[in-house]
């Protein structure tokens, strides 16, 4: 069996409002996901003996805890498939950065092995398996810019206007990891944002009013706990309406040209990593799922 390479793009949250909390502690939110053409590459080869092997475990993440192996195991368990896989991950998405790197890796493994093991799961079925691995996994299988509600799993495709898709997204990540659970559990987190209406976003006529209200409800807490995030955010705000993605610590701003994007990346604050990328209309693996519901 030969190795096949599969992309695992990252995401940004264009806004993120927390509108409530469920009895199990998970938070209800509203967010707009944009997938970016930047991310990890997974190399995957099928094994006949049923074993799952991670060929280059990430620093600090034991192979059996890695979301790629957990995704493959979840697929074996749900399908009863006797095949296995070897997985290698070329990591480009900063870990713990609010860019959904691990979640996207998991989604890519689900889509790739669904194809290679010939399981025939539909998009909806894979999204449900993905949700057991993390709240951010389903959107990568959904594969399009999405308005999300619930804990992030109720997804509606949105037509992103040209002024969002044509931008260059400059993403800066301080060299720290922000634990998502810690931010969701913080006592000062506001959990009562008034729900916005998807129609106000979709209806271009109202979009200025929409963006005036839209923010990331986790941003102020992360900025107070991690001054490095605040510094990067304040620096980026010189160039536009910068905000934080997910639970941080990555921050981003949209600019109009590649030259400007390169300039910001070259001059970014010390002790940060950075890249620029464009928004994706579709996940590159969108068409590997041939069985639509």
Ligand X SMILES: C[C@](O)(CO)[C@H](O)COP(=O)(O)OP(=O)(O)OC[C@H]1O[C@@H](n2ccc(N)nc2=O)[C@H](O)[C@@H]1O
101 annotated to bind ligand: yes
Our CB check for ligand X shows the closer of 185 and 259 to be: 185
Walk across the sheet containing 243-244 and list its strands: 243-244, 251-255, 168-174, 272-277
Is-contact 253 242, C-beta < 8 A?
Answer: yes
Q: Which does 95 bind (CB under 5 to 8 A by kind): ligand X, ligand ATP, none?
A: ligand ATP
The answer to whether 114 contacts ligand ATP (rule: CB under 6 A) is no
Supply the minimum distance, in Å, between the C-beta of residue 92 and ligand ATP: 11
Catalytic residue among 40, 66, 105, 136, which? 136
Distances (CA, A) of 23 to 129, 130, 156: 22, 21, 24
The answer to whether 136 contacts ligand X (rule: CB under 6 A) is yes
Among 9, 39, 102, 279, binds ligand ATP (CB under 6 A): 102
111 annotated to bind ligand: no
The answer to whether 84 contacts ligand ATP (rule: CB under 6 A) is no
d(CA 147, CA 154): 8
**Torsion on CA atoms 65, 71, 76, 79, rounded to nearest 10:** 150
Our CB check for ligand X shows the closer of 94 and 152 to be: 152
The answer to whether 181 contacts ligand X (rule: CB under 6 A) is yes
Supply the minimum distance, in Å, between the C-beta of residue 283 and ligand X: 16
- SS3 (DSSP) at 282: coil
Among 17, 27, 123, 283, binds ligand X (CB under 6 A): 27
Question: Token pair for residue 197?
Answer: 């209406």
List, by residue number, the catalytic residues. Answer: 11, 136
Q: Which residues bind ligand X (CB under 6 A)?
A: 13, 16, 25-27, 29, 31, 98, 103, 134-136, 151-152, 180-181, 184, 246-247
Annotated binding site for ATP: 94-104
Annotated binding site: 94-104
């Amino acid at each position: 069996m030969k190795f096949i390479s599969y992309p695992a793009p990252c995401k940004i949250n264009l806004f993120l409002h927390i509108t409530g909390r469920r009895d199990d502690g998970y938070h209800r939110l509203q967010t707009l996901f944009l997938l970016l053409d930047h991310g990890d590459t997974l190399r995957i080869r099928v094994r006949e003996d049923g074993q799952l092997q991670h060929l280059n475990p990430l620093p600090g993440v034991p192979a059996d805890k890695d979301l790629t192996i957990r995704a493959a195991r979840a697929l074996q368990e749900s399908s009863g498939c006797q095949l296995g896989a070897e997985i290698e991950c070329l990591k480009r998405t900063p870990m713990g950065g609010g860019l959904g790197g691990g979640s996207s890796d998991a989604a890519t493994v689900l889509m790739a092995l669904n194809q290679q093991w010939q399981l025939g799961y539909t998009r909806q079925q894979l999204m449900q398996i993905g949700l057991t691995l993390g709240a951010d996994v389903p959107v990568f299988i959904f594969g399009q810019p999405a308005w999300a509600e619930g804990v992030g799993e109720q997804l509606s495709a949105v037509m992103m206007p040209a002024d969002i898709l044509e931008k260059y997204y400059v993403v800066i990540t301080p060299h720290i990891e922000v634990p998502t659970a810690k931010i969701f559990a913080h006592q000062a987190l506001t959990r009562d944002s008034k729900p916005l209406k998807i129609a106000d976003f979709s209806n271009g006529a109202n979009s200025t009013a929409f963006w005036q209200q839209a923010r990331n409800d986790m941003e102020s807490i992360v900025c107070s706990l991690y001054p490095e995030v605040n510094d990067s955010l304040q620096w980026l705000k010189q160039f536009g309406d910068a905000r934080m993605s997910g639970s941080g610590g990555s921050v981003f701003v949209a600019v109009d040209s590649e030259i400007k994007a390169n300039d910001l990346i070259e001059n970014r604050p010390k002790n940060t990593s950075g890249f620029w990328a464009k928004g994706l209309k579709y996940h590159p693996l969108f068409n590997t799922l041939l069985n639509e519901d």
